[in-house]
Structure 1
């Protein structure tokens, strides 16, 4: 399996934003069953707490105290006074990735990757680009293809709703075009893509419905704003027991029918594309199981 394929199969079902200014939250995160953490320096941190949050996030990223969880740091945007200091500190800390908001062009990606090099970020530290504007949706493929260091696209659905003058509604009809464009870009360029957040932490049914929608569309996982959303996202973006059983059956039927020209399983015709999907399902299931 290539490095790119391994990156795609790394579980990122549940990716939780944590305010880096909240020491209690950072401590609690050590025991949460999420696949990844975004240690936030941006929206969740007040202006007068930015420097303290930056120091705490970098210390957490270098602590080795978070087990299997992928650790990332979200810096403030390039149009803010904190961006350069955030980026320099995050590069020195060397998290798994640096998350940057409002990336809307290939030129922005090039500037960021140049900055990572300039600040001495380790090779293991990749770039996660947040796409959250109409311009980003229209240029998503250019953004995703701009650098091999860019590994993940992160949907910023709250900002996209604002920029579109749209509304948050069940089913997300106003966002479907943008979500689909970003998904197409991710798949065309071999990148991971994460769905946006669900804002009402008390609306469990609505959250789970949106998780199902995201999984059915093809997202790799979902960004979260509350620990209570982790379990639902993990279940929604994991292959189900039925899917795993079906994948085994497809592969067994394919192997038994080798050379026959036509293979069926449970009344369905099986072609090579179905075999590839079955293998991916089992590989993802194994990756999820290995992280538990």
Structure 2
């Protein structure tokens, strides 16, 4: 289940083969790091990258969440990846190209047999048309599943579509992923923005993903972290409004009313639940910033 006290505004992919990048990651303002053994690592560098990530995990990444994207279990490296990180200091295992509940269940079983920590969770990459059709099956596969991660680059390729500024080519998949994540209490992370020099495009993509309901955005370069943190974290205005809603509602309850009105807007219990979520997230972000 999603941990609302864990900010995941910015989730940066870091190639496991690059030791300098892994070291630099310990200084970045990203909330989470996906330490990658799959797409970002050439076949002849897989074993060395695995060792690099294991060594980096031993020294830790501070408050940053460290998750490892292993190779698929149908590859020559996947089983060894999973075995290597089952008892590591990783926070989660990211499984690529998930298309069925059985893939999640297989990973969970292998982790249990390896004696993995009970709090080591699984993230599922949603990056194929079949994955979209199987979203509900995947989301309900196992209690260890914590997050859905959209792989929009692979999805666009498989659709024979084109990347557009509006992302019309993936809107159906994005919306369905958010709906399923919310229905099953999972975190859901938006796909990457591929153009490193297109700051305005990244800004619009972040705003769109936030407004759709995503918890954060996956990133391919440190220069993208600042915008993701800005748009996927609560603004000062949102924090103030959340505090005011709670205060107004509490006052109404004390007065024997079941609802409150603030600045001409009706406030009910559902608005208070969301206000408390916003304040919990803001508190967690503040705590991270002080570390």
CA gap 1:94/1:123 in 2 versus in 1, 3 angstroms: farther
- The superposition leaves residues 225-264 of structure 1 with CA deviations (integer Å, 9 ceiling, x where unpaired) of 0000111111111100110111111111111222234421
User: What residue in structure 2 maps to residue 50 of structure 1?
Assistant: 46
1:264 aligns with 2:261: yes
1:150 aligns with 2:145: yes
> Is the CA contact (8 Å cut-off) linking 1:141 and 1:182 kept in structure 2?
no
The equivalent position to 1:215 in structure 2, one of 200, 210, 214, is 210
Give the 3-state SS of the residue equivalent to 1:120 in structure 2: coil
1:123 aligns with 2:118: yes
> Is the CA contact (8 Å cut-off) linking 1:21 and 1:53 kept in structure 2?
yes
CA distance in 1, matches of 2:140, 2:119: 19
User: What residue in structure 1 maps to residue 21 of structure 2?
Assistant: 25
Give the 3-state SS of the residue equivalent to 2:59 in structure 1: coil
The equivalent position to 1:183 in structure 2, one of 178, 181, 188, is 178
CA distance in 1, matches of 2:101, 2:89: 23
Give the 3-state SS of the residue equivalent to 1:162 in structure 2: helix
- The superposition leaves residues 29-77 of structure 1 with CA deviations (integer Å, 9 ceiling, x where unpaired) of 110011111111111111111110010111112223x110111111111
User: What residue in structure 2 maps to residue 224 of structure 1?
Assistant: 219
CA distance in 2, matches of 1:117, 1:94: 16
| Displacement after TM superposition at 1:215 (Å) | 0.5
RMSD of the TM alignment (CA)?
Answer: 1.2
| Displacement after TM superposition at 1:120 (Å) | 2.6
CA gap 1:246/1:107 in 2 versus in 1, 3 angstroms: same
The equivalent position to 2:94 in structure 1, one of 92, 99, 107, is 99
- The superposition leaves residues 91-142 of structure 1 with CA deviations (integer Å, 9 ceiling, x where unpaired) of 1324101111001111111111111112232222111111111111111121
> Is the CA contact (8 Å cut-off) linking 1:8 and 1:191 kept in structure 2?
no
| Displacement after TM superposition at 1:161 (Å) | 0.6
> Is the CA contact (8 Å cut-off) linking 1:8 and 1:190 kept in structure 2?
no
User: What residue in structure 2 maps to residue 15 of structure 1?
Assistant: 11
> Is the CA contact (8 Å cut-off) linking 2:4 and 2:280 kept in structure 1?
no
1:171 aligns with 2:171: no
| Displacement after TM superposition at 1:8 (Å) | 3.0
- TM-score, normalising length from structure 1? 0.95
User: What residue in structure 2 maps to residue 137 of structure 1?
Assistant: 132
> Is the CA contact (8 Å cut-off) linking 1:40 and 1:74 kept in structure 2?
yes
> Is the CA contact (8 Å cut-off) linking 2:245 and 2:272 kept in structure 1?
yes
CA distance in 2, matches of 1:93, 1:239: 33
1:87 aligns with 2:65: no
Number of equivalences: 287
CA distance in 1, matches of 2:225, 2:110: 33
- TM-score, normalising length from structure 2? 0.96
User: What residue in structure 2 maps to residue 206 of structure 1?
Assistant: 201
| Structure 1, unaligned runs of 5 or more | none
| Structure 2, unaligned runs of 5 or more | none
CA distance in 2, matches of 1:96, 1:176: 30
> Is the CA contact (8 Å cut-off) linking 1:61 and 1:72 kept in structure 2?
no
